[in-house]
Each structure stands twice: as C-alpha cells, then as structure tokens.
Chains A and B, each alone.
Chain A
C-alpha cells in the first residue's frame, strides 16, 4: 500500500521568508513518481513538479526547489522569498510507475503568506 504524509497542516509566514513543506512517503514499489500540486483559493489543482524515483537530482525552478531523498523517503518543497500569491494548499502525491497510475495524496499543507 502507498501512503503520503504531510505532517504540517498549516504554516504561516511573512512575505519574503523562506518556507519548506515536508513530504514523507511509503511505497513497496521500486520505481514510482512523486508530485507536488498547488491548490489556490480558487480551488483548481495546479501541477508543480513530477520526480521519478530513479532520479535523485534536486530541482530548482525560480523560487521553488525540491529536495528528493530516497534514503529517508522524503520529497520536500522549498519556496524562497515567499510571496502573498504563494498562499495556497500544497499537496504531495505518489503514483506507481506501471499499471494503475492513480495518485495517492497527502492531506495537504495550507500555506498562508502574510504581507
């Protein structure tokens, strides 16, 4: 069975602070995908990143960066110099590499960025 844990229910920061959202996962699969999605107040789900389990390179995209550590089953997401527009619920998710491709989601972390 797959499981994704986002222990931080809610985080509040002041604009320009850096913030890290934690994600820990469990799976018996040897190859899998990890994802982060953003859900702004408008409610849609916005894809942020996909990571293959056999690619442990960290990734940076603008103010966003992701730290994948297979040894600790973690896939953490850092926002540098946060902005009010980053306020949203962020979901970490996991899917298998073959067969069923449906996502197993964490419970989400609500990020509030105060001006």
Chain B
C-alpha cells in the first residue's frame, strides 16, 4: 500500500516563484491536512480538509492555498514563495471514525532563496 504520497521530496525555489506540493492518499480517508515543521516549533497546521470540496484554515495559512476536488488528493499551493516559507512540509490523512490515527507522508523539504 502506498499510504500517503508527497511529491516532490526536495525543492528549491526563488523568492516570488509559485509551486504546488502534491499529496495523494489511497486509503479513502476523509480527513487530510498540511503541516509545516520548523526547528524548535514542532508541526503547525496550515490547512485541512474534512472531505472533498471542504477546506479550512489552520494556524499558519498565509501564503498558501489548498483545494480538495477529490477524496484522494490535497495539493498545497505556494502563491509567491518567501524565505520564511523555507520548511519541511508534511501531508497527513485519517479516517473520520472515532478511533483513528493520522498517517503522514514522507515530507517535502522546501528551500526558498
């Protein structure tokens, strides 16, 4: 089973460029979310989705857009990259049921220069 797949694994962007981080899951999970991990700060929620067509903002949404047109995919778009967006990005998915854990992708290490 693939689980949660993130692409790319590494990316270097110039300030002002835009790009999309891809996230796909093959477990038919309802919930998907994006986090960024910065040194000493743990993981912080950027955006999340409780199902296809439904998204909402997390703690640190500025500079990022998401959409959820299918259950499987939840891409994260950086509109105009800034050095402050240099981070490791994780996508996660989980069931909507009561006893559930979040499954994480392998992460995308993004550097904005």
Which residues does A use to contact B, with CB under 8 Å? 4, 6, 9, 35, 37, 43-45, 47, 50, 52, 91, 93, 95, 97, 99-108
Contact = CB atoms under 8 A, between A and B. Distances in A.
Contacts of A102: 31, 33, 45, 48, 58
21 contacts: A9-B40, A44-B107, A50-B99, A50-B101, A91-B43, A93-B43, A97-B98, A100-B50, A100-B56, A101-B50, A101-B102, A102-B31, A102-B33, A102-B48, A103-B33, A103-B92, A103-B102, A105-B35, A105-B44, A107-B40, A107-B41
Given A44-B107, A103-B102, 17 more contacts: A6-B42, A9-B40, A35-B102, A43-B107, A47-B101, A50-B100, A50-B101, A95-B102, A99-B50, A101-B94, A101-B102, A102-B31, A102-B45, A103-B35, A103-B43, A105-B42, A108-B42
Contacts of B41: 107
Dominant secondary structure at the A interface: loop
Given A9-B40, A100-B56, A103-B43, A44 B101 contact: no
Nearest to B31: A101
Query: Is the interface on chain B under 10, 10 to 19, 20 to 34, or 35 or more residues?
Result: 20 to 34
B102 A47 contact: yes
Nearest to A49: B101
Interface in B34-78: 35, 40-45, 48, 50, 56, 58
Most buried by A among B41, B44, B96, B104: B104
B100 A91 contact: no
B22 interface: no
A37 B94 CA distance: 15
Pairs of residues from A and B, 8 with the lowest C-beta to C-beta distance, nearest first: A105-B42, A45-B104, A107-B42, A105-B43, A102-B48, A101-B31, A102-B33, A47-B101
A45 B56 CA distance: 23
A100 B51 CA distance: 11
B88 interface: yes
